[in-house]
Structure 1
Amino acid sequence: MTMRDTIHIGIDLGTTNSAAALATGASAEMVRNTQNLEFTPSAVYVSRSGNVLVGRKAGARVVAEPDNACAEFKLRMGRRDQDKLFEASGRTMSPEEMSAEVLKSLRGDVQRRTGEPVETAVITVPAAFTADQTAATSRAAELAGLRAAPLLQEPAAAVWAYTADAEVPEKGFWLVYDFGGGTFDAAVVKIEDGEFRVVNHAGDNSLGGKRIDWAIVEDVLLPRLQQDHGLSGITTDPTRHRGVLAQLKAVAETAKVELSQQDTVEIDEIIKVEAGREVDLSCVLTREDLGRIARPLVASSIRLCRQSLVESGIRPEAFERVLLVGGSSQLALVRELLADPVDGLGIPLDHGLDPMTVVARGAAIFAGTQRIPEVVRRDAPLPPGRARLNLEYAAAGLDPDPLLGGQVQADGVADWTGSTVEVRNTTSLPPWSTGAVALRPDGSFSVRLRAEEFATHSFTVVVYDPAGTELATDQGGLTYQRKSGGMGGAPTMSHSLGVGLVDNTVALLVQRNTELPSKGAIRGLRTTQAVSKASGVGLVRIPILQGEHVRADRNTVVGRLDVRSDDVARDLPVDTEVEVVVRVDASGGIRAEAFVPFLDAEFAIDVDLGRSLLPGLADLRASRAALDGRYQDLRGQAERIKATEALARLDRIDSDEVMDEIDRLLRQSEADQDAIATCQGRLLEAESALDEVDELLELPRVIEEGREAQGVAREAVQDAGGSRYGNDLRRAEAELDEAIADGNRTVIERRTAEVRSIAIRVFEDSGQLPLIRFAGLEGALDDDPRREVQRLLAEGRSAVAGGDLNRLTGVNNRLGRFLGQTGGNTAAPSLLGEGLLGNGGAQ
């Protein structure tokens, strides 16, 4: 059997449903499963005997036997603590292993459809997926028996599908609105000269139809069950009521789907609430009810769309269309809000393709343009007596005369002088041929092909020995798609990569939206700790971070290198230079290493793409309370000093209902493990938003401190009777006023220090400085619980009462050592730990 030269298989590995498609020329067709359906539920069931079921039957068992079935595990990909125990069999599976079972099922469907073995496929991932999630998807593909599985971002796959049969403009912009079962992506697509490229993206890995389902359960179904049957004891606690919650979740999902086609749904379901007891759940859910419940989530998706537009610098009127993708995009509310120019985007909507299968179709169309990796082809056994053809060419493109390069290799042939090669286009009318092209002595050659029409062309490659006899080769030809438009450009990086530094900043390696594959390097980094070979002391830690936050500890650690004494050939002094290099392939795979010139040694950085354990509910609630306290404190500061920009940012947090969403996720976390991860992410985003407020308050704060210093200095000079410091103060105040007018924070701080120094000299002359310093220390440490602090404060008060300034000066010096300490409760170590890099300034 002749091996295909392109991958030609696309798989949409979805949260709720998965699907496979085959490339058919420039288009694609869906592969139906054994139930004759175009998509397969992403669900796994393990029987008592250990047999694994995938798909619709497994999905039914999620409701009937939640202890032995699992669904929606895509959202947990990349986490270490999300293994599922199938209780009846005692078998445990990770999200990657369950995803592999789904991929195996789809792979089997394709093999039955084509009659060919399946070793390669293109698999789609959300554009918002982080590095650990994409790596987990690649591991799932490997576990499913796929030897090569390039990853394609879902928005790009959708554009491949939409451009297959539609006329593509020479220039323009499209927006992909991908609202799936578990994730949301908004992607800005630029089309130029027939090629498209994703130029910006905003997304949320936990914003999907599943969130709407749980909101229906929480707002409608569970309260109705509790009210109608006196079942107030049934709560969202999954350890006690997992079965009931699974049933309600299934009812909510079905009702949501039906409301995309009709205005009202009558729910009348039998719910098993405990062994031997069933109750009737009866209620009416309207499209208006669904709109009220789903509106905050749809509004969040629209905010992400707007964010992507703003970051791109492109106004909505520049967009030709919005491509609707994903099952949740079928909601009437989504289409109403998106089309609205005020509450939505006001861009024309395009839902000409089935949103449930468009990603799989696009993945297959893309797969039809991707050659099977050489490592797979070379592993195919070479029949005796055949020569091997190594060909280099693009499987698709806009070029009417693409370049083909190649080399012929055969056992016992060292010189190919006199041999020729001929390439024929067997699909063109009339047939076309290159004629005989001489091989170079090493067997290499290069020719231009002819592909004049917009179609898939088949070429045969024939090799002749010097006598003109045809040689048998391992492959007879190749295909080339001549496309009229809709050719995708390079994929892009969804999240930035950088190195965490000791000052809690990030040195950038690869910026978000960079085309892939890509390489990033940082030079001039410096160690902040020595490493002693002899004593075994010291550590240099190099964390690789992913994310867009300015503060290092707000980003995700995806890799880390610890250089210890056992790793070095000799002592490593402080301030040693380190270079860090990272490489990202087209599928988002990451490799990183560090080079230390002082040692002339290179160290591989362990890119450990598995996120840490999830927090407990108590930790989440504590973080929520701390977040509220920080919010109130910052708002109080902003209002007191009238910081208008900071107040506007706080108002935006309010209008986006950030705190309300976190509270809702906290409630959902009681029933839904995935909501815990989502809530943790929202808390981090909220903290980052407050970080921005904190930064906006910095300038108003230093201005306020400058004005306070002015007031103190004026009063001190006035009380001293207009001493010799009057002229100095007037000069310093004028310089401070000028710095405040310029808004230069560094200069303001310097001028404020000069004003303070004048006040201090006045206080020194008058002998009041010890009294003033003690008053400040007393205000800072009055509530400190340490016994020694309270003893010193009492001694200081006694010295003040007795007018003993020498004794008070000694108390002040001893109290000063306690400032910045926390009463025995040492602060938690930074996320980035100790022994980190400093920035030498060069990149």
Structure 2
Amino acid sequence: MRENVDFGIDLGTTNSAVAVMDGDRAGVLRDPANAEFTPSVVHVSRSGNVLVGSSVVAKAVTDPANTAAEFKLRMGRRDDTVLFEASGTTMSPEELSAQVLMSLRGNVSVALGEQLQAAVITVPAAFTMDQHAATMRAAELAGIRSATLLQEPTAAAWAYLSEQRTLPDKAFWLVYDFGGGTFDAAVVKIEQGEFSVVTHAGDNALGGKRIDWALVDEVLKPALHAADPSRPVVSRDNPRTVGALARLKSLAESIKIQLAARTEVLVEDDIEVDGVDVPFSCTVTRDQLDAVARELVAASVRHCRKALADARLGPSDVSRVLLVGGTSKMVLVRELLGELGIPLDHSQDPITVVARGAAYYAATVRRPRTDDHTPAGTVRLRLDVPAAGQDDDPLAGGRAELETVTDWTGWTVELRSTDASTGLAWSSGKVALESGGVFRTRLQTLSDGLHEFTVVLRDPTGTEVPTDSPTTTHRRLAAKGDGAARAVHTVGVGLANNEVQVLVAQGDELPSTGRAPDLRTSGPISHADGGVLRIPILEGNHERADRNRVVGVLDLRREDFTRDVPAGSEVEVELTIDASFGAQDGTAYFPLLDQEFPIHVDLGRSALPPVEELEEHRAALGRRYDDLRAQAAGLGPEAAAGLDRFDEHGYLAEADRLLRQAAVDPDAVATCHDFLLEVESALDEAEAGLDLPRLADEARSAKATASEIVSTFGTREQQAELSKAQSELDTALVDGDRVVIERRIDEVWAIAGGAIPHDARVRAQFAGLEESLAGDPRPEVGRLLTEGRLATVRGDVATLERVVAALRRYAPAGGPDVGPAATAQRPGVVGVERGRGR
């Protein structure tokens, strides 16, 4: 029986793998076909027999009506099922994923003779809470009793760091994870042997399969039609060409892989189109692949830049890029990533690195202990020995239990080991148990790696007594992750005018409880006039509330209240996100009523909209784009820069291509739906970019003022830091990303502020408060302002500092009233807003 979890599973969109710790190394277990990974493909025969993996990959071409693939990203969607026509069987994406997990469990059983019941399972960093919950359900359905979720970039970092011979004292790494269905970028900080993920950026709809389909649509389908123009054009809406399309998709995957090492690939095959074999011969060049993939790869690099900006880092601060995922093998990926100016590290196999990293992490997690039957007379030792750590002498302990013993005085325990690298024997000596059976001692670990300890329990006569734990282990780590799960997306309350009040911010350590203690109702709810108070809980990282996903809503009507609720009534909202990225039900408390209401969080996404709705959304995006172009026409080239970049990214053309796929392919509907939301956000950025001329002026002013301040007051280090920040601000202005520009301007001001002497800073703070509170009628404000003016004249910095702290309580707070626009426009619906400073 293993003490630690030890097994790591990469549950992938295209391929999945399971790895296990063997001593100090993680190795991938091969499937029955001797491959290191198992294709995430499920086939159900006419008799209902379920088959998974490499043996049924071809069925996706020859029998697509009874074969499912690329279902990972559909997990968590409500009422989303796949029908296997021959048997009439239906399965949800969670059930399909469970079949893949059961296949991996089978690999473990064959290779090791073990029943895998606990594992670390990786998920994309951009997975939403419902997708995390669905992954946990899939593990449960597969018979994995204990599952721990680990984000894929974090798993990759575990693998890279665990197999490094030497580690930097301090460094930042960028994980570039381009998988089959998703893209993740993560910044990893390494310091004194410990590492943590600082920021994430990514896209659940950006994966290698997008490149495959682009190659099919732009290159292979036209070539097939040219080979025999008399045959129907291959499409998903023609049942007689579905098999041909699946064959082209399979060829596209193979071509993409081959072009990582070659400049061209000759494809020769007979492809059945509408019942007739069409001789197909086509040469595909790397240039053709690059042409269809360039914008998708460029989008991944933009996510990398965003992750760096969120971490307040420039490319010069990062020492290497870790390449993860099969798509990272593309030459184009390495070319465009090279433009960042960060060395690329491809020392690890990008396809298996996530599974191996999950296994390295799993080796630091104890398996849940089951209360198996203990033979009579055998002592149960509830050992408390850390699975892993970096200490030379970790603290260990435990408690002895036996029905016939009530006082353990005189009993001893001894732990022994032999260091594998030095051959030196070590013993804790006889450690006395307390009367309650508890003991504590220090272990000795002289070298990195796994240390096994023999545990010997003796009764008061010195006789050895059998226990259920005759051995235990501890792994000394050269590098250790912080082990904390972190929120992938911000979770907050949608306010009445379309902003978000954050409860748990992206990057917060989990579990985390978020509170919004100073919300106010934006309108009244009365028994006479009725009305509904709506408090939506949102998940997402968009500033606009209506761009995020609603995961919970509290609707309160007049009959729910014991009395009328006037506008401006206090509301306190609280919500907890657990360590498995799941939201527990929240609460809304009304002090006026002394009533608390539960907010139910539903972690099942709505069923996908019909294609007609997606088409309407695409048409609305086109109209919005035209309106923004018209607005930008009179504002000059800087204002139109955001729209120009929007055009360069080819958003609308890609949306049209995905719509064509979605019209006949249910799997493409999810990708199209998510991409249209991405286009909406890109237009948000372009619209904000209409303000770029003002931002450019603000940036120039910030640079000039900061240069004057730092040259007058700053140190050489501050001057060098400012020079670097100004250079990064110039780059941000060229890129035109409003969020990054604002962040870089803040950095410039922060450096300048740090150079200003303390007394000058306090005087400036008082001057700002004096201006904002001018004319305030409150007597206490007037008294403080007078006291502050006198202190300024006297040069009494201590008094002025106290006055500034007091005045901040009276300064105007909050902003415009905000929350989901869809509810704010509905008559009779009241939202919540931020409280006002009083």
TM-score (norm 1): 0.79
Equivalent of 2:583 in 587, 590, 593? 590
Match of 1:613, as an amino acid? A
Taking the aligned partners of 2:290 and 2:374, their CA distance within structure 1 comes to: 61
Structure-to-structure mapping, 1:643-792, within 5 angstroms? 646-694=639-687
Equivalent of 2:345 in 321, 343, 350? 350
Q: Could you list the per-position Cα deviations for residues 106-136 of structure 1 after superposition, in whole angstroms to 9, with x for gaps in the alignment?
A: 0111122222221101111111111111111
Equivalent of 2:552 in 549, 559, 562? 559
* Cα contact 2:531–2:829 (8 A) shared by 1: no
Q: Could you list the per-position Cα deviations for residues 28-60 of structure 1 after superposition, in whole angstroms to 9, with x for gaps in the alignment?
A: 111111112111100000111111000012221
Q: Counterpart of 1:121 in 2: which secondary structure?
A: strand
* Cα contact 1:530–1:571 (8 A) shared by 2: no
Q: Counterpart of 1:591 in 2: which secondary structure?
A: coil
Q: Counterpart of 2:472 in 1: which secondary structure?
A: strand
Determine whether 1:252 maps to 2:248: no
* Cα contact 2:125–2:151 (8 A) shared by 1: yes
Larger Rg: 1
Shift in Å, 1:487: 4.0
* Cα contact 2:638–2:692 (8 A) shared by 1: no
Match of 1:224, as an amino acid? A
CA gap 1:536/1:234 in 2 versus in 1, 3 angstroms: farther
Paired position in structure 2 for 1:178: 177
Match of 1:175, as an amino acid? L
* Cα contact 1:263–1:286 (8 A) shared by 2: yes
Determine whether 1:473 maps to 2:472: no
Equivalent of 2:150 in 152, 173, 187? 152
* Cα contact 1:26–1:456 (8 A) shared by 2: yes
Q: Counterpart of 1:378 in 2: which secondary structure?
A: coil
Determine whether 1:451 maps to 2:445: yes
* Cα contact 1:536–1:566 (8 A) shared by 2: no
Match of 1:507, as an amino acid? Q
| Greater mean alpha carbon deviation, residues 687-696 or residues 278-287 | 687-696
Equivalent of 2:360 in 356, 359, 365? 365
CA gap 1:244/1:577 in 2 versus in 1, 3 angstroms: same
CA gap 1:525/1:94 in 2 versus in 1, 3 angstroms: same
CA gap 1:544/1:466 in 2 versus in 1, 3 angstroms: farther
Taking the aligned partners of 1:653 and 1:388, their CA distance within structure 2 comes to: 65
Taking the aligned partners of 1:567 and 1:53, their CA distance within structure 2 comes to: 52
Taking the aligned partners of 2:647 and 2:223, their CA distance within structure 1 comes to: 30
Determine whether 1:624 maps to 2:626: no
Match of 2:75, as an amino acid? M
Paired position in structure 2 for 1:42: 40
Taking the aligned partners of 2:287 and 2:365, their CA distance within structure 1 comes to: 46
Paired position in structure 2 for 1:836: 831
CA gap 1:442/1:604 in 2 versus in 1, 3 angstroms: farther
Paired position in structure 1 for 2:263: 263
Shift in Å, 1:146: 0.5
Equivalent of 2:410 in 406, 409, 418? 418
Paired position in structure 1 for 2:747: none
Paired position in structure 2 for 1:385: 377
Q: Could you list the per-position Cα deviations for residues 464-511 of structure 1 after superposition, in whole angstroms to 9, with x for gaps in the alignment?
A: 333434343332232111122354553322211111122222110111
Paired position in structure 2 for 1:273: 273
CA gap 1:228/1:699 in 2 versus in 1, 3 angstroms: closer
Taking the aligned partners of 1:227 and 1:116, their CA distance within structure 2 comes to: 54
Shift in Å, 1:564: 5.6
* Cα contact 1:319–1:347 (8 A) shared by 2: yes
Paired position in structure 2 for 1:796: none
Shift in Å, 1:81: 4.4
Q: Could you list the per-position Cα deviations for residues 78-130 of structure 1 after superposition, in whole angstroms to 9, with x for gaps in the alignment?
A: 11243100011111100000000000000111122222221101111111111
Paired position in structure 2 for 1:725: none
Shift in Å, 1:161: 1.1
Determine whether 1:573 maps to 2:565: yes
Unaligned runs of 5+ in 2: 695-770, 773-820
Structure-to-structure mapping, 1:66-465, within 5 angstroms? 66-166=64-164, 167-231=166-230, 233-238=232-237, 240=239, 241-275=241-275, 277-339=276-338, 344-373=339-368, 377-427=369-419, 429-465=423-459
* Cα contact 2:80–2:93 (8 A) shared by 1: yes
Q: Counterpart of 1:270 in 2: which secondary structure?
A: strand
Match of 2:833, as an amino acid? G
* Cα contact 1:425–1:457 (8 A) shared by 2: yes
| Greater mean alpha carbon deviation, residues 456-465 or residues 262-271 | 456-465
Shift in Å, 1:213: 0.9
Taking the aligned partners of 1:145 and 1:126, their CA distance within structure 2 comes to: 22
| Greater mean alpha carbon deviation, residues 78-87 or residues 571-580 | 571-580
* Cα contact 1:81–1:614 (8 A) shared by 2: no
Aligned length: 707
| Greater mean alpha carbon deviation, residues 656-665 or residues 624-633 | 656-665
Equivalent of 1:493 in 472, 487, 497? 487
CA gap 1:623/1:571 in 2 versus in 1, 3 angstroms: same
Paired position in structure 2 for 1:544: 537
Shift in Å, 1:178: 1.0
* Cα contact 1:542–1:836 (8 A) shared by 2: yes
Shift in Å, 1:9: 0.4
Match of 1:183, as an amino acid? T
Match of 1:191, as an amino acid? I
Shift in Å, 1:231: 4.6
| Greater mean alpha carbon deviation, residues 298-307 or residues 417-426 | 417-426
CA gap 1:525/1:334 in 2 versus in 1, 3 angstroms: same
TM-score (norm 2): 0.79
* Cα contact 1:46–1:52 (8 A) shared by 2: yes
What is the RMSD of the two structures over their aligned residues, measured on CA atoms?
2.9
Shift in Å, 1:355: 1.2
Match of 2:308, as an amino acid? L
Equivalent of 1:9 in 7, 23, 28? 7
Match of 1:69, as an amino acid? T
Taking the aligned partners of 1:361 and 1:699, their CA distance within structure 2 comes to: 45
* Cα contact 1:578–1:594 (8 A) shared by 2: no
Unaligned runs of 5+ in 1: 702-745, 748-826
* Cα contact 2:496–2:824 (8 A) shared by 1: no
Q: Could you list the per-position Cα deviations for residues 340-388 of structure 1 after superposition, in whole angstroms to 9, with x for gaps in the alignment?
A: xxxx212221111211111111111111111113xxx134333333333
Identical-pair percentage? 53
Match of 1:283, as an amino acid? C
Q: Counterpart of 2:140 in 1: which secondary structure?
A: helix
Shift in Å, 1:693: 4.8
Equivalent of 1:511 in 505, 508, 533? 505
